[in-house]
């Protein structure tokens, strides 16, 4: 870090160390106009000031809340939030925005607390040999958590169809869908552990089941299905979900989807 208060500058490498965001992500944020560097150092490395660090913090907070990048840009570039002091300076505007983000984070914390209680109650019922009331089994789940990002990625029509399809399912149908997803993942994990090539018919059968599992809400064509599988690897949230079943499962599924799409295309 160089400079004094008000003129501090942090290099890209320092911002990466402080925030955990990769330099590639920072370049992407610059390219889409979400986070511009404050300037360039004599050696050519990008530099960021305190205002840019604060903006990056807000970007990351909103990403944690599941907001898409395009929407984040609109939020941060908009006028002061409702209820802000009229004529307030930049610091007050930022504080008002962060106050809203703080409230959203507290709400998400409360949701996770409810979800934790649901899981604890499920464990207790299983160990005690009792049946948990069906209406209590999904307390804390939020199937619309990533709705804004999904609308940005797939479009309103696709998200609306998916939402209606989910809401039309009964509790038993939702549980059956969850179990099928788990069965596909554990089946693929076993094949991965056995070193089965992604071109093997057993893998293709499970990928076909995976496609049918996805198609309950949205039927992707070959290219969209490839993109979805790539997202399982590229998006840390999805990668962590699959890799929690078996390390490397996200990549294995992506490669299996590619092989399946190639085989279908080839007749």
- DSSP state, residue 3: S
Across the chain, mean pLDDT equals 79
More confident site: 81 or 103: 103
More confident site: 173 or 101: 173
Handedness of CA 145, 147, 149, 150 (dihedral sign): positive
Tell me the C-alpha distance between 112 and 234, whole Å. 25
pLDDT for residue 4? 45
Residue 251 has pLDDT above 90, yes or no: yes
Tell me the C-alpha distance between 77 and 73, whole Å. 6
CB atoms within 10 A of CB 143: 12
**Token pair for 31:** 């390219």
More confident site: 173 or 39: 39
pLDDT for residue 239? 82
Contact 254, 203 (CB under 8 A): no
Which residues, in sequence order, are CB contacts of 241 under 8 Å at separation 6+?
none
User: Length of the chain, please?
Assistant: 267
Residue 222 has pLDDT above 90, yes or no: no
pLDDT for residue 186? 92
Residue 35 has pLDDT above 90, yes or no: yes
Banded pLDDT at 91 (limits 50, 70, 90) = low
Tell me the C-alpha distance between 27 and 12, whole Å. 9
- Candidates 206, 199, 157, 154; CA nearest to 180 is 206
- Candidates 146, 255, 108; CA nearest to 196 is 255
Contact 231, 214 (CB under 8 A): no
Tell me the C-alpha distance between 208 and 215, whole Å. 10
pLDDT for residue 248? 92
Question: What angle (nearest 5°) sits at the alpha carbon of residue 203, between those of residues 181 and 235?
Answer: 55
Residue 84 has pLDDT above 70, yes or no: no
Residue 83 has pLDDT above 80, yes or no: no
pLDDT for residue 85? 43
**pLDDT digits 0-9 by tens, 142-165:** 545 555 556 666 667 766 777 777
């Amino acid at each position: 870090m160089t400079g004094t208060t008000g003129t501090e500058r942090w290099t890209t490498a320092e911002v990466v160390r402080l925030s955990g965001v990769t330099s590639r992500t920072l370049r992407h944020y610059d390219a889409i106009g979400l986070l511009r560097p404050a300037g360039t150092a004599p050696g050519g490395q990008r530099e960021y000031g305190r205002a840019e660090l604060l903006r990056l913090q807000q970007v990351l907070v909103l990403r944690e809340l599941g907001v898409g990048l395009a929407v984040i840009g609109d939020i941060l570039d908009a006028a002061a939030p409702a209820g802000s002091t009229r004529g307030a300076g930049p610091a007050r505007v930022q504080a008002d925005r962060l106050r809203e983000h703080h409230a959203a984070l507290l709400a998400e914390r409360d949701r996770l607390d409810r979800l934790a209680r649901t899981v604890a109650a499920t464990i207790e019922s299983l160990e005690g040999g009792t049946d948990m009331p069906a209406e209590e089994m999904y307390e804390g789940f939020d199937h619309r958590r990533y709705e804004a990002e999904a609308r940005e990625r797939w479009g309103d029509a696709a998200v609306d169809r998916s939402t209606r399809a989910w809401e039309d399912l009964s509790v038993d149908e939702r549980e059956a869908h969850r179990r099928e997803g788990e069965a596909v993942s554990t089946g693929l994990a076993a094949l991965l552990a056995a070193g089965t090539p992604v071109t093997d018919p057993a893998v293709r059968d499970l990928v076909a089941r995976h496609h049918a599992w996805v198609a309950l809400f949205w039927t992707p064509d070959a290219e969209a299905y490839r993109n979805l599988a790539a997202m399982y690897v590229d998006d840390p949230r999805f990668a962590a979900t699959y890799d929690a079943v078996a390390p490397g499962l996200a990549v294995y599924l992506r490669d299996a989807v590619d092989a399946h799409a190639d085989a279908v295309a080839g007749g």
